[in-house]
A = this chain, B = another copy of it.
Amino acid sequence: MLRLSKLTDYAVVVLVRLSSGDGVQTSPGIAAAIGIPEPTVAKVLKALTCRGLVTSSRGARGGYRLTRPLHAVPVSDVIAAIDGPIALTACVDGAEGHCESQGLCPMAGRWDPVNAAIRAALAAITLADMQEAAVPRAFRLPADAAHHLSAAPASIPLSE
């Protein structure tokens, strides 16, 4: 299914949340606002900080702040921050010491154009694009909504 890590989905939600509000926002505060367990939010924010998408202030009254507005953050950056480099297979660029055993591999490097195409596609979409995209599909709570709430009260699957 070309699976994207769920953490990446969380990251997008967190970043959008961070864009609302002017000051710094704490990890527990964000977690409460978007309904994701705090440790998970913290892990996401940690990764985003490493990649420079957000800045952190330590100590009491600390928190996180966006370094760029949403329209300057391509989705590819978020994915790269959480999932690592964007590549469909590990057989790319800097892959050394693997693959091509006994020279039989007839596909060495063939995925490169595919990877490049996907990278380009993801770089062209910013978080602002995603933010203004189809919201109407949300809030269509089906009849069994209560069932789901009781079934999984703690974790809130966002785009699951």
Which residues of A pack against B, CB within 8 Å?
A: 1-4, 6, 9, 12-13, 16-17, 34-35, 75, 79, 83-91, 96-114, 117-118, 120-122, 124-125, 129-131, 133-142, 144-145, 148-149, 152, 156-160
- Is the Cβ of B79 less than 8 Å from the Cβ of A111? no
Contacts of A136 in B (CB 8 A): 109
Copies in the complex: 2
Contact of A105 among B1, B112, B159 (CB under 8 A): B159
- Taking a contact as CB atoms under 8 Å apart, the answer to whether A2 and B118 are in contact is yes
Partner of A1, one of B17, B34, B84, B104: B84
What are 5 pairs between A and B in contact, CB < 8 Å? A1-B87, A12-B107, A90-B160, A103-B139, A106-B138
